[in-house]
Chains A and B, each alone.
Chain A
């Protein structure tokens, strides 16, 4: 039976439903029956992955569909990195890969073979806080805390990006070195959203770690 058959409604069904005031509908999603049949029994493919996480070599054997985010959270039980949208729009999944911040939900674990990954757990612990973590506590840069690990990983990376002289949309000049000022920090942190609205305190925390008086 192909999609078009499913679009027809039998008279009997129409009567049963009674109060329907508009015609019946297709079968979304508009999937071709052939493509569906070809894939509905496809078995998962597994592959080995070795990567370094917070300084520790880890070996995993994973469904190739596993994102780096789910590899960390579900397979390494490192739940510090958060799944906020799973589509690269919120930044809660931000981790450092080979020294650069990325959205771990939009890369596959298998793509990170040989990579060095740093998560929020790798930045510091309750007994030995990273300066950025301590600053977030001091300046109350969170409420529910769910975006916080991503904010902290991003913030650490942002300061490094400014130090490396990478310009931003907020930089008045492309060729001058970017400054450690609030407008730069706000622009560079725009990929990390916070529904609790701790933004102003987050900027204060980052500004303190940047070594500039707020």
Chain B
């Protein structure tokens, strides 16, 4: 970990402006991913801007009947909020399926969106990685790929996004609110927030430099049965091999997104219209064009069967 100066920000706009003026600045909130990466010198900020004092830790109703979730709301608190449990159960379930109790207590909403891949070749700094050093190659391709991506991958990178929360947010059509160094704000739909690796896997989100997330909003509740099914090698405290996030209405229609398969939450709205035709039809469309490795092609079948299980549970619940 390289030396860094440290300061606590007092306002979101001030934090973003300071970040723009200071070489090598990064925001730190929970720090549960950033500090991990700093210890390995995968991240090497020269200046840390601690945003924990910013008043961004509330969950409030929006005029549209939805929720505005402050960027600093801790994962535990978000999952446990009565409004989330009642009207956005998918989000609670996804959050509770992730990490450990200790990590959920420290991790924040924005940090969860921004966390980086756990690809073992990204983490092993002795291996070639186009995320860490563009142009150096991808040691994962041709390596151990069981945990890695099957769709939307590229010849530069086959990593997956590790977040459970992001998959749920993608299904719930969340929007990400930000402030930029010049003080202007904007809203980024969650579908556009995370990027595919393409030729630039080192660019993971559509945030501009030093742009600070201030909140994530959810639209008004859509009802339905909310299920987050996570399939992994352990029953707890492990990342997904695949996960299925679904909201299914009593008429059999609904929304679905997959985790553990791509560089971003994987949702194909056209596939959802096939839900009345069953999991096989949905998955065929959802994972059309998938390019798995021999080692991780099982994820396609696993996704289909998990979705079938989720749809059966939804039928039983309605």
- The 5 sampled A-B contact pairs (Cβ below 8 Å) are A35-B44, A64-B4, A111-B28, A168-B101, A191-B102
**Chain B: how many interface residues by the 8 Å CB criterion?**
48
Q: Which of B123-131, B167-175, B190-198 contacts A (4 or more CB under 8 A)?
A: B123-131
Considering only residues 80-127 of chain B, those with a C-beta below 8 Å from chain A are 80, 82, 85-86, 89, 92-93, 96-97, 99-103, 105-106, 125-127
Closest 4 CB pairs of A and B: A191-B100, A190-B236, A28-B126, A29-B125
* Contact, CB under 8 Å: A111 / B86: no
* Contact, CB under 8 Å: B36 / A87: yes
Indicate if A212 sits at the interface (CB-CB under 8 A). Answer: no
CA distance in complex: A44, B4 (Å): 7
Indicate if B298 sits at the interface (CB-CB under 8 A). Answer: no
* Contact, CB under 8 Å: A88 / B103: yes
A30-B132, A42-B2 are known; give 5 further A-B pairs, CB within 8 A.
A28-B126, A45-B6, A88-B102, A91-B102, A111-B28
CA distance in complex: A100, B32 (Å): 15
Considering only residues 13-28 of chain B, those with a C-beta below 8 Å from chain A are 28
Indicate if A125 sits at the interface (CB-CB under 8 A). Answer: no
Indicate if B66 sits at the interface (CB-CB under 8 A). Answer: no
CA distance in complex: A187, B28 (Å): 28
Indicate if B3 sits at the interface (CB-CB under 8 A). Answer: yes
Q: Are A102 and B106 CB-contacts (below 8 A) given A65-B4, A174-B93, A175-B85?
A: yes
Q: Are A42 and B3 CB-contacts (below 8 A) given A29-B126, A101-B101?
A: yes
Considering only residues 45-75 of chain B, those with a C-beta below 8 Å from chain A are 46, 48, 50, 52
* Contact, CB under 8 Å: B92 / A111: no
CA distance in complex: A94, B2 (Å): 25
Considering only residues 152-187 of chain B, those with a C-beta below 8 Å from chain A are none
Residues on the A chain within 8 Å of B99, using CB:
191
CA distance in complex: A113, B181 (Å): 26
How would you classify the secondary structure of chain A's contact residues: helix, strand, loop or mixed?
loop
Indicate if A108 sits at the interface (CB-CB under 8 A). Answer: yes
Indicate if A158 sits at the interface (CB-CB under 8 A). Answer: yes
Chain B residues proximal to chain A, CB less than 8 Å: 1-6, 8, 28, 30-32, 35-36, 39, 41, 44, 46, 48, 50, 52, 76, 79-80, 82, 85-86, 89, 92-93, 96-97, 99-103, 105-106, 125-129, 132-133, 136, 236-237
Closest to B105 in A: A100
Residues on the B chain within 8 Å of A32, using CB:
133
* Contact, CB under 8 Å: B132 / A190: no
* Contact, CB under 8 Å: A106 / B126: no
* Contact, CB under 8 Å: B1 / A65: yes
- Nearest CB on B from A37, distance (A): 13
- Nearest CB on B from A150, distance (A): 9
Among B31, B35, B44, B99, the one with the most A-chain Cβ atoms within 10 Å of its Cβ is B35
- Nearest CB on A from B235, distance (A): 8
Indicate if A110 sits at the interface (CB-CB under 8 A). Answer: yes
CA distance in complex: A174, B97 (Å): 13
Q: Are A165 and B80 CB-contacts (below 8 A) given A45-B5, A86-B39, A101-B102?
A: yes
Residues on the A chain within 8 Å of B105, using CB:
100-102
* Contact, CB under 8 Å: B101 / A169: no
**B6 in complex: contacting residue of A64, A164, A166, CB < 8 Å:** A64
Give a binary string over A36-68; 1 marks a CB under 8 Å from any B CB, 0 the rest: 000100111101000000000000000111010
Q: Are A168 and B6 CB-contacts (below 8 A) given A102-B102, A174-B85?
A: no
* Contact, CB under 8 Å: A67 / B102: no
Give a binary string over A9-35; 1 marks a CB under 8 Å from any B CB, 0 the rest: 000000000000000000011111001
- Nearest CB on B from A165, distance (A): 7
* Contact, CB under 8 Å: B80 / A166: yes
* Contact, CB under 8 Å: A47 / B6: yes
CA distance in complex: A157, B76 (Å): 13
Considering only residues 110-149 of chain A, those with a C-beta below 8 Å from chain B are 110-111, 113
CA distance in complex: A164, B81 (Å): 12
CA distance in complex: A188, B52 (Å): 25
Among A35, A86, A100, A161, the one with the most B-chain Cβ atoms within 10 Å of its Cβ is A100
